[in-house]
Amino acid sequence: MQNVLSLSLALTARVSAMAVPASSFAGAPTSDLYPPASTSVNSQLFPPESVVGFAGPTPTGIEPAAINTAPVYPFNNEDSSSFPLVAPHAHGSGVDSAFNMKRSWGNLSPWYSVPSADYGLPDANPLIPDGCSITQLHLLYRHGARYPTSDAAPAQFAAKIAKATKKGFETKGDLSFLSTWTYKLGAELLTPFGRSQEFLLGLEHRQLYGGLLNNFTEQGAIPVFRTESQDRMVKTAVNFAAGFFGVPEYMDEVSIEILVEAPHVNSSGSPYYVCPNAGVKDKGFIGTAVSKAYAALAFNATQARLNSQISGMKFDAKDVISMLELCSYETVALGYSAFCGLFSEEDFLNYEYYYDLRFYYENGPGSPVAAAQGKGYLQEFVARFTQEYPTPSSALNETFDNSSTYFPLNQSIYADATHEVVVLDTLTAFNLSALFKGPPLSLTQNERRNSFSTSKVIPFATHFTAQVLECPTYQPTKQIRFIVNDAVLPINESYAGCEANPHGLCSFDNVVEVLKKRIDEIDFDHDCYGNYTTKAGVDYNGRAPRD
Ligand SMILES: *[C@@H]1O[C@H](CO)[C@@H](O)[C@H](O)[C@H]1NC(C)=O
Ligand SMILES: *[C@@H]1O[C@H](CO)[C@@H](O)[C@H](O)[C@H]1NC(C)=O
Ligand SMILES: *[C@@H]1O[C@H](CO)[C@@H](O)[C@H](O)[C@H]1NC(C)=O
Ligand SMILES: *[C@@H]1O[C@H](CO)[C@@H](O)[C@H](O)[C@H]1NC(C)=O
Ligand SMILES: *[C@@H]1O[C@H](CO)[C@@H](O)[C@H](O)[C@H]1NC(C)=O
Ligand SMILES: *[C@@H]1O[C@H](CO)[C@@H](O)[C@H](O)[C@H]1NC(C)=O
Ligand SMILES: *[C@@H]1O[C@H](CO)[C@@H](O)[C@H](O)[C@H]1NC(C)=O
Ligand SMILES: *[C@@H]1O[C@H](CO)[C@@H](O)[C@H](O)[C@H]1NC(C)=O
Ligand SMILES: *[C@@H]1O[C@H](CO)[C@@H](O)[C@H](O)[C@H]1NC(C)=O
């Protein structure tokens, strides 16, 4: 009783000391409200997209018209992770099949909550464990759903169809729609659904973590959130901020820092531009080839089935992948795709594995350059954990990593946007082995003996979260844990000194020590510039061999 009384007295005292806006109701705790008084965004220091430039290509697509083209209306049902997209049943599936094809689209899946049980923590939950409180949120998230990148397979497939149309071809059965189909996608940009993913991600984080803004209010500061200069990256950060702070408030309540993404420019957000080996066959560029080789065999039967429904042209193995990609891309851009109904549940599981191979060997433990490319963010996380500026030993940009204006170390909330490859590189640099538990991925068989799954780890709007906690019942009381798309990760098997914990917790200081060792063991110059040979089929722990 006494506590309640003194709290309400304290509250009254604080409120009466402030200039309470006329609209506030009596007793509202205005002193805790964000934003702090007389703060604003300095657009000289944090210029907008139009000033920064380097937006990349921005071809727009045809307007979606799902009200006309979708066979099913997008009622707002329980699959909220992909509202308002609709997908048909997979080829050969009964109407009551629970199979959700959108969760087998690799990096083109919309993000969804992954159970902690999938990585070995059945009782864990992202809610703060009893007896602990949160002091810091560190968030690294990917852009939302986008059109295909400029060089992707669907546009090439569209060109092949356009050419065949001139000569004339005939289709039947499932493929009938193809005779009147036209290509409607743009390139590179966020789709309307992609915008909603980021807006909701921002909104979700405000609802979950808004209390941490009190820290900014107390210090009279607004946060710096970072992204890269590509148009979809800027729009991602802006939509996230709009969800988090509201429209138009976000324009005054957060500084959005836009890092240049361009060849040869240092940035933790686009490390591939300063890591030459990432593009070299037999070095960093090994996943793409093995995933293509896998796909050339995995879809044989499907290829034959589809070829039996068309005359006047023939599909090759690459066309099958193009049509699977069109299923994903048209759905996230236009709301629905007739291509999806061409493929069986097994096809979609193999499609997911095609992506698993590519990413495990290009940006995961099977890559010799993954850890090097993730080292920039790893160093930045550790800098924020320790409040010490990083000593560059990666692609960090000193201009942006050595100043309290551009790289503040005292925030309670951090939010950086990047690409899926960089998120995966970063998780590899963090040595979060629970995400890759098991033998290296088989190059020929979709055996699922490894815990890695692309759609769980790097879907559209994926997010990697570090929660820093104060837990009075633990010793030491400062704890940390890591979460990917709501799955809490165990770290006891790859972080020396961390014991098994049902909530994925470990001593903050111990984790920082482990990560500093990891920074030391990742040799950016060797991995990105050295002369070595690698092949797919090996778990390199994301680092180049020394031969
Ligand atoms: C962080 O430090 C900077 C520079 O010392 C200061 O201007 C700012 O108010 C601080 N921000 C927060 C959120 O504490
Ligand atoms: C650092 O970033 C700035 C702007 O993003 C860029 O102009 C500069 O070239 C970068 N520095 C290096 C060494 O890449
Ligand atoms: C797929 O095609 C390849 C090469 O044409 C052939 O070797 C293989 O046996 C086929 N696999 C199946 C399952 O049909
Ligand atoms: C950061 O900048 C200061 C002043 O320019 C310089 O003395 C220091 O060495 C730099 N630190 C790093 C880690 O580059
Ligand atoms: C840019 O990154 C390279 C490593 O790729 C590093 O040697 C260099 O110091 C960095 N330059 C700046 C200005 O950050
Ligand atoms: C605000 O958060 C920063 C970073 O966690 C911390 O250093 C600082 O002590 C906090 N300030 C208050 C008043 O809680
Ligand atoms: C990374 O994890 C592996 C186990 O997956 C472990 O053997 C290794 O020691 C870890 N590296 C560091 C620097 O902690
Ligand atoms: C690590 O923690 C997990 C989950 O709590 C547990 O299943 C596993 O046995 C632990 N491993 C070791 C080596 O302690
Ligand atoms: C890299 O190593 C290979 C095999 O040892 C050798 O043939 C090649 O000349 C080397 N390349 C360079 C640029 O040193």
Question: Which residue ranges form the domains of the chain, and what is each CATH number?
Answer: 1-547 (3.40.50.1240)
Inter-residue contact 364 to 111 (CB < 8 Å): no
Cα-to-centroid distance, 347 and ligand 3 (Å): 15
Query: Are the C-beta atoms of residues 233 and 149 closer than 8 Å to each other?
Result: no
Q: How confident is the model at residue 27 (pLDDT cuts 50, 70, 90)?
A: low
Angle between helix 420-429 and 370-386 (nearest 10):
70
- Low-confidence winner among 53-57, 126-130, 195-199, 210-214 (lowest mean pLDDT): 53-57
Closest ligand 7 atom number to CA of residue 514:
14
pLDDT at 6 over 50: no
Q: What is the mean pLDDT of residues 63-84?
A: 81
12, two tokens: 């009254």
DSSP-assigned beta bridge partners for residue 463: 141
Measured in Å, residue 416 CA sits from the centre of ligand 9 at: 38
Which residues sit opposite 225 in a β-bridge?
256
Classify residue 479 as exposed, middle or buried by CB count within 10 Å of its CB (0-12, 13-18, 19+): buried
Question: Is the pLDDT score of 11 beyond 60?
Answer: no
pLDDT band at 406, cuts 50/70/90?
A: very high
Q: How far does residue 40's CA lie from ligand 4's centre (Å)? A: 28
Average pLDDT rounded to a whole number, residues 519-523: 98
Among protein residues, the one with the nearest Cα to ligand 6's atom 6 is 410
Mean pLDDT, all residues of the chain: 92
Degrees to nearest 5, angle at CA 464 with 461 and 465: 125
- Reported as a single tens digit per residue, the pLDDT across 145-198 is 999 988 889 999 999 999 999 999 999 999 999 999 999 999 999 999 999 999
Q: Is the CB of 255 under 6 A from ligand 1?
A: no
Q: How far is the CA of 533 from the centre of ligand 9 (A)?
A: 9
Give the per-residue pLDDT at 250.
95
User: What is the rounded CA–CA span in Å between residue 18 and residue 16?
Assistant: 5
For residue 530, which ligand has an atom nearest its CA? 9
Per-residue pLDDT tens digits for 189-217: 999 999 999 999 999 999 999 999 999 99
Q: Over 90: is that where the pLDDT of 272 sits? A: yes
Check residue 106 and give its pLDDT.
Answer: 98
Whether the predicted pLDDT of 391 surpasses 80: yes
**In this model, does residue 7 exceed pLDDT 70?**
no
- One DSSP character per residue, 166-179 reads HH--EE-GGGGGGG
Q: Which of 17-31, 368-382, 460-474 has the lowest mean pLDDT?
A: 17-31
Provide the H-helix boundaries in 148-230.
Answer: 153-167, 192-209, 213-219
Take residue 365 and report the two structure tokens written for it: 């433990």
Residue 80: its pLDDT value, please? 82
89 falls in which pLDDT band (50, 70, 90)?
Answer: confident
Please name the residue that has the structure tokens 């979809």. Answer: 232
Question: Which ligand 7 atom lies nearest to the CA of residue 518?
Answer: 13
Pocket probe for ligand 3: among 292, 299, 300, 347, the residue whose CB has the most ligand atoms within 8 Å is 300
Ligand 1 atom at minimum distance from 221 CA: 9
Residue nearest (by alpha carbon) to ligand 2 atom 4? 260
Own/partner contacts of 544-547, CB < 8 Å, gap of 24 or more, are 544/277, 544/283, 544/368, 544/369, 544/372, 545/368
Lowest mean pLDDT of 24-38, 104-118, 290-304, 397-411, name the range.
24-38
User: What distances in angstroms separate CA 440 from CA 16, 41, 45, 48, 283, one per listed residue?
Assistant: 64, 48, 46, 43, 17
CA–centroid distance, residue 195 to ligand 8 (Å): 39
pLDDT at residue 29, rounded to an integer: 56
Residues in contact with 535: Cβ distance below 8 Å, sequence separation at least 6, in sequence order: 282, 286
Average pLDDT for 98-121:
97
Least confident segment among 1-10, 50-59, 248-257, 366-375: 1-10
Q: Which residues does a 6 A CB cutoff place in the pocket of ligand 4?
A: 389, 391, 398, 402
pLDDT tens digits along 473-510: 999 999 999 999 999 999 999 999 999 999 999 999 99
- pTM for the structure as a whole: 0.92
pLDDT of residue 271: 97
